[in-house]
Amino acid sequence: MPRGRETTNRRGAAASRGGSPETGPVASDGPLTGGNAALDKLNEALIAIRRILRATDSHAKELGRVTNLTTSQLLVLQSIADAGEMTVGEIATEVKLAQASVTSLVDRLQAAGLVKRTRGAADKRKVFVSVTDEGYALLERAPMALHDRFSARFGALDDWEQTMLVAVLQRVAGMMDAQKIDAAPLLDAELINQSTDPDQGGRPH
């Protein structure tokens, strides 16, 4: 084959592979594109998780700044206000926390002058918790709890959307080895377990 034609053929072959006679063929970026897409999705997932954590933390700080309460304390106070008066057991059932944890929360609210305990008129063995005027005034200026906002928006979803969302969140918890961690159904930056530490004076931990 004449030398000129050989050179021309070599250039054509290199060009068809996206290269040049000087640099040679360029590797296809197909696999790299797929890898980048997977990395982008991973980053989006991590960003979403990070945003949830930051939203919980920032709301807790804002709530603490305005009311000096934690989310769990606010929810207990709000539940009592809605009912008028409740026993500790009724509060625990309403907010879905252990009775020992609720007792500790009520103790703190009472120490702050936001609730009071009174014995029942018909049954002196029963002790009812009610909100004081200070407590009602605090609720008036308190921001809406993140827990309540999420609950309202979750409740507005169709049943299939709720089921799908629960499944996804449970899958995420499993992927983070968190499926066995005991946790209350509460969006609160303060960790509250269904047990108390006697060394901490019964404070939820």
One pLDDT digit (tens) per residue for the chain, 205 residues: 555 555 555 555 444 444 454 444 444 444 545 668 778 889 999 999 999 888 888 888 888 888 888 888 998 999 999 999 999 999 999 988 889 989 999 999 999 999 999 987 777 788 999 999 999 999 998 887 787 888 899 999 999 999 999 999 999 989 998 878 777 777 665 544 333 343 333 333 3
In a domain, 146, yes or no: yes
- Is residue 62 within 8 A of residue 143, CB to CB? The reply is yes
> For residues 41 and 49, what is the distance between their CA atoms, to the nearest angstrom?
12
Q: Does residue 10 lie within any of the structural domains?
A: no
Task: Evaluate whether residue 64 is within a structural domain.
Answer: yes
Residue 24 falls inside a structural domain: no
For the entire predicted model, the pTM comes to: 0.62
| CATH number for the domain that contains residue 91 | 1.10.10.10
CA atoms of 92 and 101, how far apart (whole Å) = 8
Based on the structure, what is the number of domains in the chain?
Answer: 1
Q: Which domain holds residue 100?
A: 32-197
Residue 26 covered by a domain: no
| pLDDT in the model for residue 188 | 65
DSSP states of 133-152: HHHHHHHHHSPPPHHHHHHH
Quote the CA–CA distance of 44 and 34 in Å, as a whole number: 15
Residue 16 counted as domain residue: no
C-alpha dihedral, 147 to 152 to 158 to 164, nearest 10°: -10
